[in-house]
Amino acid sequence: MKYFGTDGFRGEANVTLNVEHAYKVGRFLGNYFQKEDHKVRVVIGKDTRLSGYMFETALASGLTASGADVYELHVTTTPSVSYLVRKENFDCGIMISASHNPYFDNGIKVINGKGHKLEPEIEEQIEKYIDGESEEIPMAKREAIGRCFDYTKGRDEYIEYLKDLVKEPFDGKTVALDLANGSASMIAKEIFESMGAQVIARHDEPNGTNINRECGSTHIEVLQALVYDTGADIGFAYDGDADRCLAVDDDGKVIDYSLLHMFEGYGSLVMTAEEFFEKYGYEPSKCNVARCVEEISKKERRTVVVKTDHSAVIADLKYIYFCADYVINN
């Protein structure tokens, strides 16, 4: 495809990705999901990049011009957008981020109603609309014009959801965090402190241009040094939009998540999220994946591993584990 890649439409802000592109993406999506007697609802989040403000405004303008209502999370994480799309039955979600790229890049990642990456065939239709190769989309008129709502409470709901997943407190533990001056700055410290941990946070002062700059998951050596110097029990480093997390142990060694493959050789149930939902009859939009996996683990009396695009949820008979950067095809 011309614009969309493996993780949305990315490019340097105002060079290969501009507000006209964003406006047209909004116009298309606001119209695409229109149905009779249905008001389209789209939730938008962004990371801390300077250009995020203009792309947020452009997307919202296009969406409302097509008749959709827009719910703005403002600075938040990509996983929070996926979670809220499913939980609140939004037609789709949009995350404005270029992940681990430098601040001058940005991106538009569209998330479908199931919380997954938008289908390629729809992305192709968006590209045709951007290039003027499809019919013009009518403007919404009068009371059909959409509105924008502040939806920071949605981010708060996601924080409470994460807190609820914690089974064991971190009392007496010291946790080191490298927040990459990105989205995790708004969430991670609060969550770990609520678990009872003493938190040592670095790179938690985003200014629009320092996201991922010599910090975060692409510079794991910074976290390793922090853990070693402070004597922390464990450390976590995030990328710009916090959909990637690397961990180091108390010796500063990177925890190798590829070891998850050992589960596949020990009689565990290992499947993709789609296979899990189909096998056990869960409705994805209504399913708390961690709780559902835990339930099946107890029912089957064995470890269950459910893999998504970039992560895995693992439940044995006692604990639930989460893993980032787990690649399904490995």
CA–centroid distance for 173 within its chain: 27
Q: Would 330 be classed as within a structural domain?
A: no
Residue 136: exposure state from Cβ atoms within 10 A (0-12, 13-18, ≥19): exposed
Q: What is the tally of structural domains in the chain? A: 3
The reply to whether 214 falls in a domain is: yes
Residue 163 lies in a domain: no
Largest CA distance in the chain: 63
Range of the domain at 208: 168-255
Instruction: Mark whether 232 and 172 lie in a shared domain.
Output: yes
Same structural domain, 75 and 197:
no
Q: Provide the CATH number for the domain around residue 237.
A: 3.40.120.10
The Cα 46–Cα 26 span in angstroms is 15
Domain termination residue (choose one: 255, 287, 311): 255
- Per-residue pLDDT reduced to its tens digit, 267-313: 678 888 888 888 999 887 677 777 788 888 888 887 888 876 556 67
Domain end marker among 157, 184, 202? 157
Residue that finishes a domain, picked among 255, 290, 312: 255
Give 99-150 pLDDT, tens digit per residue: 999 999 999 999 999 888 899 999 999 999 999 999 999 999 999 999 999 9
Question: Is residue 231 domain-shared with residue 265, that is, in the same domain?
Answer: no
This prediction's pTM: 0.81
pLDDT digits (tens, 9 = 90+) for 136-159: 999 999 999 999 999 999 999 999
29 and 93 both lie in a single domain: yes
pLDDT of res. 218: 92
- Rounding to the nearest 10 degrees, give the CA dihedral for residues 303, 306, 307, 312: -70
Q: Is position 177 within any domain? A: yes
Q: Are residues 91 and 14 in the same domain?
A: yes
Kindly report, residue by residue over 232-263, the tens digit of the pLDDT. Answer: 999 999 999 998 888 999 998 887 655 555 45
66: annotated active-site residue = no
Amino acid 257: pLDDT: 55
One of 82, 99, 183, 297 is an active-site residue; which one? Answer: 99
